[in-house]
Amino acid sequence: MSSKWTTQTIYREHVEGELAKFMNPFPPCFTPAALGMIKAGTRIDLPWTKGFLDAFRSEELWVEDGDPKEFIAEEMPGVVRKKKKCSTCLDLGYYWRAHTGQTTHIQAMFQEDCECRFYHLVWILWGDTNTVPEPYRNVTLDDLTPSPRSNLSDPAQQKVINLLQSCRDYSFLMYGDTGTGKTHFSIALLQHAVHEWARKICNNAPDATSERTVFRIDAKAWCDAMLEFSRRSFDDNVKLPDLTVTRVRKMAEHEPPIRLFVIFDEIDKVPPSEGRLLNLFQLCNALSECGAQIVATSNHSPEQLVAKWDSEHTGPILRRICDRKKDEKRMRLPLTAIVETTDKTKDNPEDKK
């Protein structure tokens, strides 16, 4: 190895991974754009010599100079929809920020991830109309408030909201009549799951993945599609649904396991057919074994589901979604019953005796 270090040597070494090791945990700064920005510190005469590099390598504490670039969260809805550029990073996803080594006094520019990355990631799932219909795009779990359009009383809605906010990683069967807020409440939990997914990627969490982990599935359409797939003939162009037992199991093999979030919308619309119920059971079983969070919405109560489907499949399916065993985080969430109890206690406090 020569003792003279030229910009070319440094760059090549970096590209070949030699320098990448000591650059950790910093993002690479020896890109051609950054080379010119590195200045010699007080202890080093010449940049790009072996001495400079040794000093650079020895530095253990890099401190950012000044404040981070201003980030404007309000412009994000426009940025993710590609209607305007992020004014912090001009849509590069990062910007350069000066750091000073506390021992060597070397000044260097390091890449800083722009916060817009988080919003872009969220939009991948949130902006998908199949996942979140347009009218629900502003729903957030933390900002949920009782809706005047709901059939539930405000106090009843507030009870549900408090419960969801304190049990945000629970599986639920939400059941009640039309207009009780099942879609709204389930999408609030989905919003939370989407943000968790994006946050993990931005923080390089060990269970981060760029694969989709959040699903909202029309239960009947899914069961129909699975059945159609199993009955296809060789020349049919029938596709498997996105979420399958195999996919669930594959995500669980990740180390540490990746937690899936799945909404089964209108689960009561699944017709009582052996094949459909078996597929639904197998998916719920895989999800439950892999610790996924399942949120099912239904117009029917669990008892009505047993009557509509059959006892052979219904019990096992419900057990995997909403029936609690030991300390599992599962719950039945009746949206009609809450109205009744609330109204009763409000109007007739004597009833309790």
- For Zn ion, the binding residues (CB under 5 A) are 86, 88-89, 114, 116
CB-wise, 86 or 277, nearer to Zn ion?
86
Please state the closest distance from residue 205 (CB atom) to Zn ion, in A.
21
Q: In terms of Cα–Cα distance, which of 68, 69, 62 is closest to 27?
A: 62
Residues present in the chain in total: 353
Give the pair of three-digit tokens for residue 195.
């943000």
Longest dimension (CA), the chain: 92
DSSP state of 49: B
Give the C-alpha separation, 251 to 213, whole Å: 9
Give the pair of three-digit tokens for residue 145.
């408030």
Name 217's Cβ contacts closer than 8 Å, sequence gap at least 6. Answer: 241, 243, 262, 263, 264, 265
CB-wise, 86 or 248, nearer to Zn ion?
86
CB-wise, 116 or 287, nearer to Zn ion?
116
Give the pair of three-digit tokens for residue 25.
């945990």
Please state the closest distance from residue 264 (CB atom) to Zn ion, in A.
36
CB-wise, 80 or 317, nearer to Zn ion?
80
Please state the closest distance from residue 337 (CB atom) to Zn ion, in A.
47
Give the C-alpha separation, 268 to 242, whole Å: 21
Give the pair of three-digit tokens for residue 161.
């909201």
Please state the closest distance from residue 89 (CB atom) to Zn ion, in A.
3
Indicate the pairing of strand 62-64 with strand 293-298.
unpaired
Indicate the pairing of strand 330-334 with strand 214-218.
unpaired
Please state the closest distance from residue 126 (CB atom) to Zn ion, in A.
17
Please state the closest distance from residue 88 (CB atom) to Zn ion, in A.
4
CB-wise, 114 or 214, nearer to Zn ion?
114
- Burial, 136: exposed, middle or buried (Cβ in 10 Å; 0-12, 13-18, 19+)? middle
CB-wise, 110 or 229, nearer to Zn ion?
110
CB-wise, 88 or 150, nearer to Zn ion?
88
Please state the closest distance from residue 74 (CB atom) to Zn ion, in A.
13
Name 274's Cβ contacts closer than 8 Å, sequence gap at least 6. Answer: none
Please state the closest distance from residue 120 (CB atom) to Zn ion, in A.
8
CB-wise, 91 or 228, nearer to Zn ion?
91
Give the C-alpha separation, 308 to 305, whole Å: 5
